[in-house]
C-alpha cells in the first residue's frame, strides 16, 4: 500500500449537521455535494465521512442497520457515487467509517440471531445465559436480556448496539465483503471504529471493579486475536490503493506500535487519545482544569514515540469531543486561541484531521435542560452525576463535556439557521446562538479569521518537506504557558511558539536560535510583520499569540 496519506490532511464530515441540501432540516449528501469546493478551499486533500449508512440513530450512525447502503435521509448510493466522483475530480480522497465492533439491534443479522440458537446468524453476536459484571461505556450494564432468545447479549456501547462475535469466521467474511463493496465503488480507505475492541478474551472473564464503565476493558481491548483479525481485513485492503486508520480508545504507545509496525502491522495510523485528556480523566465527562503540561507531554510522547517507526494522526476535534476552543482555549479570546490551537497541532509530524466547524472556531453549546440533549452518553452521564449535586451543577458538567457540542449545525452564514437549512425548515438540532458572528461567510471576508489562518497553516505545511517529514523536538517542556516545538530537516528548521495564556507571558528562545534572523511565516497578531525577524533570547507573547518561524542553519 502506498503512503500518499502522509502528505495529506483530512476534513471530517458528520453529515447530519453539515449542510442540508433538500430542505428537511437534516444534513445530507446533496449538501455535501454543494460544499465540496469549500472543503477543497480549506486546503485539505481528503474527506472522512462519519457513518452515512442506514441507522436508527441510537448513536447517530454508529449503530448501523445496513452496511451496504446510504441512510435515506442522506441520499442513496447513486448520489453517494456522484459525491465520490466529484470529490475525486477535485483531488479529494474519500474515506468511510467502518463500524464492525457492533451493529444496530435493528440490523437483520441481529433480528435473525435473536430468533434462536440454530440459524445461520445465531452466533453472529455474543450471547450468554449468565452475564459477567462488565459495564457498558454508554448505558449501564453491558448485558441486555432478550426475551425472544431467552439469553443476554453483550453491548459494550448502548443497548441498541450489540457487539458482533468476531470469533465467528462468517462474521469476518461479512466484514471482508463490506470492505470490498466500498473499495470497488472507489472509496480510498477507512476510519475503523474502536478497532482495538473487536476481539474479546475467551471465556469473557469478569472484570475487576474499577472506574464505572471500563471494568471489562482489559478483557476486550487488544484481545487475543486482534492482530490476526485485523490482518485478515488488511489483506483485502492491500489489493487496493487505500489506507486504514483505526480509532484506538485508551491505546498506549506500545500497543499502537504493534498495529502500526512489524509483522502484525494491520493499520497505517491510529487515533490515540492521550492529548485529549489534558482537561479530564479518561473521558470529558470527568472534567479537571486544563493543564498545558499534560497536553505537551501527551503530544511529545507520541511524536517521539512514533518518529521513524510509524505515522501519527493529528486532531483536536471530532464528533466525540466538545469544541477545542471551549476546552483548551478561551471563548473570550476565541479568534486568538482558535488560531493558536491550530498552530499547536497542524505543524506536528503526522496527518492532520480537521472536524467540520473547527476551522471557523465553533464553540460549545449550552442547552437549558438535559432533555434538550440528543447524545446517549451525555444523558447517561448526567444521570450518573452525583444526585446531591444541584441540577445547575450537573448541567454545567454536561456543558463542559457533551459530544452534542460538536454536533450542532455547521454555521455557514448569518441567515436564519446559520444557512444550514432553508429558513422555513426546522433544523434537527439546536444552532449555536453565536452563528451571527461565527460563520463561514464572515470569515471568508476577513483576512485574519480562523478560517484563513487554517488555510495559511495547511498551505505552509504542504509547501515544506521539513514540516511534512522532518524531525520533531520540543523545547522547554516544563513551561506552563508556552508550547514551543521545532521541526527540522537538513538545514531548515521551523520553530513554532504557542502561548496558552490569557495574559502576556515571557518566552525564551532555545539557545541555538538566539540572535539568529529567521523568517516569520505566520502570526495570529496582524500588527507583527511577516518576513525577516531577528529573535532575541527573551520576548513577550500576547494573549494566545502564536508565531511560526523558519530558519536556515
Least gap, CB of 465 to ligand NOJ (angstroms): 33
Q: Does 194 bind ligand NOJ (CB under 6 A)?
A: yes
Q: Does 193 bind ligand NOJ (CB under 6 A)?
A: yes
Q: State how far the Cα of 482 lies from the Cα of 459, in Å rounded to an integer.
A: 24
Q: Buried (b) or exposed (e) across 200-229, using 16+ Cβ within 10 A?
A: beeebeebeeeeebbbbbebbbbbebbbeb
Closest CB to ligand NOJ among residues 62, 507: 62
Q: Does 412 bind ligand NOJ (CB under 6 A)?
A: no
Closest CB to ligand NOJ among residues 355, 412: 355
Of 63, 135, 192, 247, the active-site residue reads: 247
The full DSSP string for 443-512 is: HHH-TTSHHHHHHHHHHHHHH-HHHHH-EEEEE-TT-SSEEEEEEEETTEEEEEEEE--SS-EEEE--GG
- Size of interface with ligand NOJ, in residues (CB under 6 A): 9
For cell 482537561, what's the residue? 279
Q: How far is CA 155 from CA 73, 126, 543, in A?
A: 26, 9, 46
Of 20, 144, 193, 317, the active-site residue reads: 193
Least gap, CB of 390 to ligand NOJ (angstroms): 29
**Could you say which residues in the range 125-144 bind ligand NOJ, by CB under 6 A?**
none
Least gap, CB of 105 to ligand NOJ (angstroms): 13
Phi, psi of 521 (to 5 degrees): -90, -35
Closest CB to ligand NOJ among residues 104, 466: 104
Q: Is 407 left (phi over 0), alpha (psi -120 to 50) or beta?
A: alpha
Closest CB to ligand NOJ among residues 352, 470: 352
Residue 476, CB half-sphere, CA atoms under 13 Å: how many?
Answer: 19
Least gap, CB of 327 to ligand NOJ (angstroms): 17
**Could you say which residues in the range 39-68 bind ligand NOJ, by CB under 6 A?**
59, 62
The full DSSP string for 170-198 is: HHHHHHHHHHHHHHHHT--EEEETTGGGS
Closest CB to ligand NOJ among residues 221, 336: 221
Interior angle at CA 376, CA 371 and CA 382, nearest 5: 60
Least gap, CB of 62 to ligand NOJ (angstroms): 3
Q: State how far the Cα of 95 lies from the Cα of 42, in Å rounded to an integer.
A: 18
Q: Does 99 bind ligand NOJ (CB under 6 A)?
A: yes
Does residue 247 have an active-site annotation?
Answer: yes
The full DSSP string for 385-413 is: S-TTS-HHHHHHHHHHH-GGGGSSPP---
Least gap, CB of 16 to ligand NOJ (angstroms): 12
Q: Does 188 bind ligand NOJ (CB under 6 A)?
A: no
**Residue 151: beta bridge partners?**
146
Closest CB to ligand NOJ among residues 194, 325: 194
Least gap, CB of 206 to ligand NOJ (angstroms): 23
Closest CB to ligand NOJ among residues 247, 374: 247
**Could you say which residues in the range 211-250 bind ligand NOJ, by CB under 6 A?**
247
Q: Does 70 bind ligand NOJ (CB under 6 A)?
A: no
Does residue 45 have an active-site annotation?
Answer: no
Q: Does 479 bind ligand NOJ (CB under 6 A)?
A: no
Using CB under 6 A, pick the residue from 320, 359, 374, 404 that binds ligand NOJ: 320
| Number of helices (H), then strands (E), in the chain | 15, 21
Instruction: Tell me the residue number closest to ligand NOJ, measured at CB.
Output: 62
Interior angle at CA 59, CA 257 and CA 247, nearest 5: 10
Residue 135 is given by DSSP the state B
Q: Which residues bind ligand NOJ (CB under 6 A)?
A: 59, 62, 99, 157, 193-194, 247, 319-320
Active site residues: 193, 247
Amino acid at each position: 500500500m502506498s503512503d500518499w496519506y502522509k502528505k495529506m490532511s483530512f476534513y471530517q464530515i458528520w453529515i447530519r449537521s453539515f449542510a442540508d441540501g433538500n430542505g428537511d432540516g437534516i444534513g445530507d449528501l446533496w449538501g455535501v455535494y454543494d460544499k465540496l469546493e469549500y472543503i477543497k478551499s480549506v486546503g485539505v486533500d481528503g474527506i472522512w465521512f462519519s457513518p452515512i449508512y442506514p441507522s436508527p440513530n441510537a448513536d447517530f450512525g454508529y449503530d448501523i442497520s445496513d452496511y451496504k447502503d446510504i441512510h435515506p435521509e442522506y441520499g442513496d448510493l447513486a448520489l453517494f457515487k456522484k459525491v465520490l466522483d466529484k470529490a475525486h475530480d477535485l483531488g479529494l480522497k474519500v474515506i468511510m467509517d467502518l463500524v464492525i465492533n457492533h451493529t444496530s439491534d435493528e440490523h437483520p443479522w441481529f433480528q435473525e440471531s435473536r430468533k434462536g440458537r440454530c440459524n445461520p446468524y445465531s452466533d453472529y453476536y455474543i450471547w450468554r445465559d449468565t452475564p459477567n459484571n462488565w459495564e457498558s461505556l454508554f448505558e449501564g450494564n453491558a448485558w441486555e436480556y432478550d426475551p425472544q432468545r431467552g439469553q443476554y447479549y453483550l453491548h459494550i456501547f448502548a443497548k441498541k448496539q450489540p457487539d458482533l462475535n468476531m470469533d465467528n469466521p462468517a462474521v469476518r467474511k461479512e466484514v471482508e465483503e463490506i470492505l470490498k463493496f466500498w473499495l470497488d465503488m472507489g472509496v480510498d480507505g477507512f476510519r475503523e471504529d474502536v478497532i482495538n475492541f473487536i476481539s474479546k478474551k475467551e471465556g469473557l472473564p469478569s472484570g475487576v471493579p474499577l472506574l464505572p464503565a471500563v471494568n471489562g476493558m482489559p478483557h476486550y481491548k487488544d484481545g487475543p486475536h486482534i492482530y490476526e483479525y485485523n490482518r485478515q481485513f488488511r489483506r483485502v485492503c492491500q489489493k487496493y490503493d487505500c489506507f486504514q486508520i483505526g480509532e484506538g480508545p485508551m491505546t498506549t504507545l506500545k500497543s499502537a506500535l504493534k498495529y502500526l509496525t512489524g509483522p502484525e502491522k494491520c493499520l497505517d495510523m491510529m487515533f490515540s487519545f492521550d492529548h485529549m485528556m489534558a482537561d479530564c480523566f479518561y473521558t470529558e465527562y470527568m472534567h479537571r482544569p486544563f493543564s498545558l503540561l499534560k497536553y505537551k507531554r501527551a503530544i511529545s510522547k507520541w511524536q517521539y514515540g512514533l518518529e521513524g517507526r510509524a505515522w501519527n494522526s493529528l486532531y483536536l476535534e471530532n464528533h466525540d469531543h466538545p469544541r477545542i476552543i471551549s476546552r483548551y482555549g478561551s471563548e473570550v479570546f476565541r479568534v486568538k486561541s482558535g488560531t493558536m490551537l491550530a498552530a499547536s497541532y497542524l505543524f506536528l509530524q503526522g496527518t492532520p484531521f480537521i472536524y467540520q466547524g473547527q476551522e471557523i472556531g465553533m464553540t460549545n453549546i449550552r442547552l437549558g435542560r438535559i432533555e434538550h440533549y440528543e447524545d446517549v452518553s451525555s444523558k447517561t452521564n448526567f444521570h450518573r452525576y452525583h444526585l446531591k449535586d444541584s441540577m445547575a451543577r450537573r448541567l454545567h458538567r454536561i456543558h463542559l463535556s457533551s459530544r452534542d457540542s460538536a454536533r450542532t449545525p455547521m454555521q455557514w452564514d448569518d441567515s436564519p439557521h446559520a444557512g444550514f437549512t432553508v429558513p422555513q425548515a426546522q433544523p434537527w438540532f439546536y444552532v449555536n446562538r453565536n452563528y451571527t458572528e461565527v460563520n463561514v461567510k464572515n470569515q471568508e471576508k476577513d483576512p485574519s479569521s480562523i478560517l484563513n489562518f487554517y488555510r495559511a497553516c495547511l498551505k505552509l505545511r504542504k509547501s515544506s518537506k521539513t514540516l511534512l517529514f522532518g524531525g520533531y523536538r520540543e523545547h522547554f517542556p516544563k513551561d506552563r504557558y508556552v508550547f514551543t516545538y521545532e521541526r527540522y530537516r537538513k538545514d531548515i528548521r521551523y520553530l513554532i511558539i504557542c502561548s496558552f495564556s490569557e495574559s502576556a507571558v515571557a518566552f525564551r528562545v532555545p539557545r541555538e536560535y538566539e540572535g539568529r534572523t529567521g523568517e516569520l511565516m505566520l502570526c495570529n497578531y496582524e500588527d507583527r510583520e511577516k518576513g525577516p525577524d531577528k529573535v532575541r533570547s527573551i520576548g513577550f507573547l500576547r494573549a494566545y499569540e502564536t508565531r511560526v518561524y523558519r530558519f536556515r542553519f
